[in-house]
Amino acid sequence: MSKLPFELLLALRYLRPKRTFVSIITLISMLGVTLGVMVLIVVISVMSGFDKELRDKILGFSPHLRVQGWEGPLSDYALVAQKIAAHPQVKGVSPFVIGQVLVETEPDHGQPLEAAPYFRGVDPDTEGSVSVLPESIIAGEFDLEGRSVLLGCEFARAMGLRVGDRLSVYSTKDIRRMRESQRKGEEVAVVAEDFTVRGIFDVGYYEYNVNFMVVSLENAQEFNDLGDTVHGLMVMVRDPDRAAEIRRGLSALIGPDYKIQLWTEENSSILDAIIVEKNVMFIVLFFVMIVAAFGIASTLITFVVQKTREIGMLKALGCTGWQICLLFLSQSAFVAVTGVVCGYASGMLALTYRNEFLGLMNRWTGFELFPADIYGFNQLPALIVPHDILLICGSAFVICVLGGVIPAWMAGRLEPVEALRHE
C-alpha cells in the first residue's frame, strides 16, 4: 500500500498521460509555467547583471565622490586632499581637471579627422588609487610625461590612431580668443598643441572609451588657464554603498566651502532607468504566469466536468468536500511544481550559455543583437540573485496553485446525488 494520502495518490493517477484532450491541455499548461519562469529568470538576471556591470564600469573610471568648490576651481586642493585622506573609510584621493577640446589627427595619407572629446587631466602618482586607468592600458604604456596623451580604445579606433601617432589639440581658450578677435574685426591665428599617443586604454565601458582622452594634470591646467588650481578631487571609498554616509563625515571634516557629489547622483539617470526597467519587465512578464494559471484553471474545470461521476461516487463513499478540493489543488500544485522546476533548470541553462547563443543568433541573422555602442558592453551580462529567483519561483507557484482554487471549490460543492443523477 502506498503511504501517500489518497487525495495526492488519486491526483497523480489522474495526471498520468492518456493521450486525451485533458492531458494535452495539462501538458500545455505545464509548458506555459516553464516558459514563464524561464523567461522571468533570464530577463531579471540579465537586468541585474547589466546593473552590476554598469556600476562596476562606472566606478572603475568615475569616482565614488567628487569634491569641488562652490565658487570655482580649488586652489588649496593639496590641503583638502590631506584632510580627506585621513578619513578611515577613504581609499584614495586624486586631483582632476576636465574639459572639452577639439582634436585633429595628422595622418600621413588621406584627410585628417576631427573630434571633440573630453580632456581629463590626472596626477599619474595618485590616479591608480581612484581608478583602474593605469591597469587598463591595452597598447603602449601609462606614460604622461611631456606632451603625451592616453586615448580610449573606441576613440582611437574611430580616429584611426595608434601608439606613436600625433594629433593636434585646440583648447577652449584658443577658440574663445579666436571668437573674440573676430568680433573685434581682428585676425588671430590659433596654434594647436601637438600631442603624442603614448597609450590606449580600455576601461570596459563604451562611453568612457569613446569620449575621453587623458593627459597629465599640468597639461590640463595649462589648457584651461587654471594655473595651480584644479577642478576638483576624485575620492574612492572602501564601501561605495556607504558613500552617502561617508559624504556627511567628509562635509563635517572639510567644512561648508566645498560641495561633494555622490557617484549615484552623477549617474542617477541611467541607474534609475535600469531599476525602473527591471521592475517593469518583471511586472509585464509576470502576466505570462497569469496566463499559465488560467490554463491550469481551464484544464481543471474540464477535468471536473469529465470526472463528475467519479466525484459523486467518492463523496457517496464518505469523502468530504475538503478532500475533493485537496485532490484538485494537488493537481494544480503538481503542475506548478513541475513547471517551476523545469523553468528554473531551463533558465539556468540559458544563462550559462547566453553569450554562445547570442553569438549564434548574430551569425544566423547577420545583425548584432547586443551592440556595444548602445549598451556599453561587449558581452551579455548576467547576475543570479537568490532573492530574485526565490521571488520568481515562489510567486509562480502561488499564482498557479490559486488558478486551481475555483475548479477545486466547484468539485468540493458537488452533491453526490446530483452528480450521479447527472450521469
**pLDDT, tens digit (0-9, with 9 covering 90-100), for 295-323:** 777 777 776 666 666 666 666 666 676 77
What are 359's three cell numbers? 553569438
- Percent of the chain exceeding pLDDT 90 equals 12
Over residues 161-185, mean pLDDT: 78
What are 224's three cell numbers? 584651461
pLDDT recorded at residue 345: 94
Over residues 94-114, mean pLDDT: 85
Angle (CA) 249 253 257, round 5°:
110
Summarised one tens digit per residue, pLDDT across range 7-50 is 555 555 555 555 555 567 777 778 888 888 898 899 888 888 88
Instruction: Check pLDDT > 70 for residue 234.
Output: yes
Nearest Cα residue to 89 out of 233, 230, 231, 244: 244
Q: How many CA atoms lie within 13 A of 341 on its CB side?
A: 6
Higher pLDDT, 101 or 377: 101
Least confident interval from 34-38, 225-229, 314-318, 336-340: 314-318
Over residues 257-284, mean pLDDT: 79
Instruction: Check pLDDT > 80 for residue 139.
Output: yes
Nearest Cα residue to 66 out of 34, 98, 42, 43: 98
Specify whether the CB–CB gap between 85 and 250 falls below 8 A: no
What are 51's three cell numbers? 546593473
pLDDT recorded at residue 1: 43
HEC letters along the chain: CCCCCHHHHHHHHHCCCCCCHHHHHHHHHHHHHHHHHHHHHHHHHHHHHHHHHHHHHHHHHCCCEEEEECCCCECCHHHHHHHHHCCCCEEEEEEEEEEECEEEECCCCCCCCEECCEEEEECCCCHHHCCCHHHCEEEECCCCCCCEEEEEHHHHHHHCCCCCCEEEEECHHHHHHHHHHHHCCCCCCCCCEEEEEEEEECCCCHHHHHHEEEEEHHHHHHHCCCCCCECEEEEEECCHHHHHHHHHHHHHHHCCCEEEEEHHHHCHHHHHHHHHHHHHHHHHHHHHHHHHHHHHHHHHHHHHHHCHHHHHHHHHCCCCHHHHHHHHHHHHHHHHHHHHHHHHHHHHHHHHCHHHHHHHHHHHHCCCCCCHHHHCCCCCCCCCCHHHHHHHHHHHHHHHHHCCHHHHHHHHCCCHHHHHHHC
Round to whole Å and give the CA distance between 153 and 137: 9
pLDDT recorded at residue 75: 85
149 φ, ψ (degrees, to nearest 5): -145, 145
Specify whether the CB–CB gap between 335 and 29 falls below 8 A: yes
> Which range in 73-77, 131-135, 196-200, 370-374 is most confidently predicted, on average pLDDT?
196-200
Q: Domain map of the chain by residue range? A: 6-56+270-422, 63-263
Round to whole Å and give the CA distance between 67 and 158: 33
Q: For all residues of the chain together, what is the average pLDDT?
A: 80
pLDDT recorded at residue 22: 52
Least confident interval from 31-40, 76-85, 178-187, 390-399: 178-187
pLDDT recorded at residue 308: 67
- Percent of the chain exceeding pLDDT 70 equals 80
The alpha carbon dihedral of 383, 247, 212, 272 has a sign of positive
Round to whole Å and give the CA distance between 406 and 289: 17
Nearest Cα residue to 14 out of 423, 409, 318, 302: 302
Over residues 214-236, mean pLDDT: 88
pLDDT recorded at residue 96: 92
